[in-house]
Chains A and B, each alone.
Chain A
């Protein structure tokens, strides 16, 4: 277990460093960060000053070295827009994102599992058909569009929720639901199909023959097996929600988290702040990956730690 964890941790560090190297290569070599950051009317002196300030006049390998060393120390430089350490800005905007992601993800997983279990119990029934259709819609409708359509109907039309911003719980409802909808769809489809498989296994049939009640069979026997598939997919979903959905949904609802901050930073050509967001998200993604792997390995006795690489 200890060795396995160490191996996974070193892989995780490798992933984060690769992400940062990619960002470095793209921003320094392909793009021209100074040109992106400065206004069009900037003079040559302005350029030289900013280049010196960012250390861009030094050899590229020295820059890369410094950059990685600084990143390991959680120092990504000062945000050009906010004129303070970019990391401070990101950490300040992180709690709203975590709140939104937690709410959306919880909504998505809970509703998805319930729909999946109910429809898996009676494949072909009307609940099942509705669930499959719903799941298909969940993965086919563009998230930013659902967000805006919800604003049109629930905020502008019915006046139930504010159109955007943050504050009380009423601000959280629409973005969390929109963030969670694709999760509902995919979790429901996966839970449903593993539920069907589980209900057909020998040990479930044996339990039925022994006279174990239907509820107990579904809740205890089948859920155990179906749970593994659901947890694995849920981990992927959480990563998708964090690294993709949150940016879009936060932008639609002007929710003051790191996704919205990244978009604001891009608009203001603040590459340094964008890098800091990417860095923090990359760390969260690899952490979730490790947690999912460990949970998965502990739940499924068939998978051994040393065999997973």
Chain B
């Protein structure tokens, strides 16, 4: 990654350019639209959802969705074993499934970046010590350890968010350290050091701008991992607990009705898949767009250039 010179007066023009690029790229546009839809669903769940996600109606148990025989428009996506509306549960499920990555990635990103800055800037023994810990943590059996911790501490929203952030902060630390090391070698940083700029000033003014784009891309990519982990842990019974709703939790409930009501498995899982797909498409596009060299290659190419993911 080549360091970008800090500060830019044409910020606004650039952001308009970014928007145009997203609109022109079908895969990125799809990702952004999916995410916007999910965020809207999460924010306005009580308004959008046709029914209360926890309202039971035993007379309307296990009703099939509209596409199956016997489906009705009253429950578009059918009902579960307690007669709860599947569509409403999926809409409300977006709240947990999107807040968990937001919280975990923020925690991990802030902590990991701070550790990476410290290691990269101090160098020497501090760096060696920190990176030894980071390397050790990378060899931990992540999911199994998360399961053990959650089983002992007891699963809840916050334990889940913290355990998931413990699994990924090292990724941010490692990347930040690498970026700091390469930025420190840049001539403008050397020049700033020579004219006597303080370490804090060098850090904030000259090094930090190089970190923003790659770290943001990483954060987007890691939120996809966190969504999948949250879903898997909730599915295994050690994540989100009822009466809260989560897509992974709903798939676990549907598991008992694999013969009679497969939509209870298929539909909430589809929500997870679409969310993760959207985020991955956006992350793939960001990775290309944030890298000036990749970006030049890509946008100089013809209209049928390969998608962001093949870059």
Binding site for B on A (CB under 8 A): 11, 14-15, 18-19, 22-23, 26-27, 30-31, 33, 36, 123-124, 128, 132, 135-137, 139-145, 148-149, 151-152, 156, 163, 189, 192-193, 239, 242-244, 247-248, 251, 259, 262-263, 266-267, 269, 271, 274-275, 277-278, 281-282, 285-286, 289
Contacts and interface: CB of A to CB of B under 8 A. Distances in A.
B147 A266 contact: yes
Given A140-B277, A140-B280, A142-B248, A148 B255 contact: yes
A195 to B, nearest CB: 12
Contacts of B108: none
B226 interface: no
B269 A132 contact: no
Contacts of B153: 26, 30-31
Contacts of A123: 306, 310
Contacts, number: 149
Given A31-B153, A135-B309, A149-B266, 14 more contacts: A22-B145, A36-B151, A123-B306, A128-B306, A132-B306, A136-B309, A137-B277, A142-B251, A144-B248, A145-B273, A149-B265, A247-B143, A251-B236, A271-B151
Contacts of A140: 224, 273, 276-277, 280
B231 interface: yes
A36 B273 contact: no
B26 to A, nearest CB: 13
B181 interface: no
Contacts of A137: 277
Contact of B139 (A124, A144, A275, A285): A285
B269 A149 contact: yes
Contacts of A289: 139
Contact of A145 (B238, B272, B306, B309): B272
A244 B144 CA distance: 7
B234 to A, nearest CB: 10
Say what secondary structure dominates the interface of chain A: helix
B152 A271 contact: yes
A267 B152 CA distance: 11
B259 A274 contact: no
A14 B151 CA distance: 25
Contacts of B266: 149, 152
B99 interface: no
A142 B141 contact: no
A11 B138 CA distance: 12
A239 B165 CA distance: 20
Nearest to B255: A148
Interface of B: 136, 139-145, 147-149, 151-154, 224, 228, 231-232, 235-238, 248, 251, 254-255, 258-259, 262, 265-266, 269, 272-273, 276-277, 280-281, 284, 304, 306-307, 309-310
Nearest to B304: A124
Nearest to A266: B151
B141 A281 contact: yes
A160 B65 CA distance: 26
9 contacts: A15-B136, A124-B306, A149-B265, A151-B258, A248-B143, A262-B147, A267-B237, A285-B141, A286-B139
A278 B265 contact: no
A192 B307 CA distance: 14
A123 to B, nearest CB: 6
A274 B231 contact: no
Nearest to A28: B152
A152 B148 contact: no
Contacts of A136: 277, 280-281, 284, 309
Contacts of B232: 142-144, 248
Contacts of B265: 145, 148-149, 152
Nearest to B233: A248
A239 B142 CA distance: 10
Listed residue (A128, A135, A149, A251) with the most chain B CB atoms within 10 angstroms of its CB: A149
Contacts of A266: 147-148, 151, 238
Contacts of A269: 151
Contacts of B255: 148
Contact of B142 (A11, A149, A244, A275): A244
Contacts of A271: 148, 151-152
B133 to A, nearest CB: 9
A275 B148 contact: yes
B262 A152 contact: yes
A248 B239 CA distance: 13
Nearest to B254: A148
B145 A23 contact: yes
Contacts of B273: 140-142, 145
B164 to A, nearest CB: 13
Nearest to A31: B152
A132 B307 contact: yes
A148 B258 CA distance: 8
Contacts of B231: 142, 144-145
Contacts of B237: 267
Listed residue (B139, B235, B266, B304) with the most chain A CB atoms within 10 angstroms of its CB: B139
A278 B277 contact: no
Contacts of A19: 140-141, 145
